[in-house]
Amino acid sequence: MIQIFSSDNFQTICNHLSKKDKHLKSIITQHGYPPMWTRKQGFETLILTILEQQVSLAAAFAAFKKLKSRIGRVTPEKILAMSNEELRECYFTRQKQGYAKNLAEAFANKTLPWKKFPEMNDDEVRTHLTSIKGIGNWTADVYLMHALQRTDLFPLGDIALVNSLKETKQLHPHISKEEMPEIAEPWRPYRTIAAMILWHAYIKKRNIKIEA
């Protein structure tokens, strides 16, 4: 069964997690509920997520804003029409130029069945997305979380999430990533919302400003 979160159940799930975990409860007590971070399904969101790979959110948004100011609505056709130099002027690295073009081709050729993703389970969506060069598990998980609003993702490829988990749970700085899924296990089937609570703590602690 596919489970999603929405404005109807988001805070209820936060409350459920608070009852199960004193550390998550302390974050909500101190900082309030996390924002319900969601994005539209489709190509534009995937391009933004590619830009977010291994850089700060501020750097990714700067690139995305530059792209939108240049071409308006971000579509596969427009990306395919851009030269590598034009993409570079929008702060796409050489690798991400290739990733964006790969994704655009998959959309243009209709080889990525993204409109059917809401009917697919998480693993099926991940398999389709990661078949495109440049989209790994982190990008697929972020899309599942924010665009498809699936409730049970915990992307350990996310540095901010890992650091917030270490801080919140006072873990050893060099704890292995293999040990971390066990810590998140009690949060099933709502690990996405637990991750959002942890991101919320990370952002508030560092006074990071998030653009919409």
| Band of residue 52 on the pLDDT scale cut at 50, 70, 90 | very high
Q: Which of 1.10.340.30, 3.40.1400.10, 3.40.50.970, 3.40.630.10 is the CATH number of 43-146?
A: 1.10.340.30
Q: What is the tens place of the pLDDT at every residue in 153-182?
A: 999 999 999 999 999 999 998 998 889 999
What are the boundaries of each domain within the chain?
A: 10-37+153-206, 43-146
pLDDT of residue 178: 87
**Which pLDDT score, from 0 to 100, does residue 211 have?**
66
Position of tokens 């409860």? 25
CATH class of residue range 10-37+153-206: mainly alpha
Is residue 9 pLDDT above 60, yes or no? yes
Helix/strand/coil percent split, the chain, to 5: 60, 0, 35
Is the whole model's pTM more than 0.75, yes or no? Answer: yes
Contact 161, 194 (CB under 8 A): no
